[in-house]
Amino acid sequence: MLESYIRSRRQEKDILLMTHIVLGYPDFETSLALVETMVQAGVDLMELQIPFSEPIADGPVIARACQKALERGVTVRRCLEAAHEAAANNDIPFLFMSYFNILFKYGTDAFVQRAREAGIKGAIVPDVPPEEGDEYLTAMTAHGLDPIFIFAPTSTDDRMKIVARHARGFVYCVARKGVTGEKTEFSRDLDGYLARCRRATELPLALGFGVSSPEDVDALRGRVDIAVVGSQAIRVLEDKGAAAVGEFIAGLRK
């Protein structure tokens, strides 16, 4: 489903935008207001992160947001309810982003089923390698959700082919080594990496980790299908408030 949506949307736009919020940060009312604001600003897809205490792929901005949400009592059940509300009121695909312990504790099949019932279209679970993801992949297939897997600059060509065999919807290409939220230089070196990604899969490619400005998004036009903006939107929220997030998102593709 996500692949056909992305390909259709790409007929209208030269690059799509996927944003990311942490559910329950700073509170659920603001989370849902941010969803509305981002959709109105033209976002094409959105990650809804379920907070986890050890977010190993995330940098300090998102990790801090997760920690504060957990301190305020955010639960998986409440995140599922918020996701349902977001998907029911906004006509873009939503994906869950979280870590496998969340699914394992809830019950993997039960979690995926509940996600589908909430209107979620896919999931990014970065600590599930495909070789150890039989239960997860079986549940995702059974309930019609797309598992989004990750390529990294350190992935070998053989590794990319293995990952690509299990991916659906699109592949998330990490722009550099490290965690989210740090500055990335979109140099010519990126072209070689993305060429390897393109050879490994025919799925659309998203690129994230360090995408934070109109210049960054412009640098990705013609190189990937989706630019992923995460930490910077949280910084804008914290520094200037929710209303400023819409202006920031709307300005990314100008």
- Catalytic residues, which ones? 47, 58
Nearest alpha carbon to residue 21 among 10, 37, 8: 37
User: How many of the other CB atoms lie within 10 Å of CB of 184?
Assistant: 19
What b/e readout covers 34-69, taking b as 16+ CB neighbours within 10 angstroms? bbebbbebebbbbbbbbbbeebebbbebbbbbbbbb
- What is the residue type of 68? K
Give every CB contact of residue 218 below 8 A, 6+ residues apart in sequence. none
Residue 83 backbone dihedrals phi, psi, to 5 degrees = -60, -40
Cβ atoms 46, 95 nearer than 8 A: yes
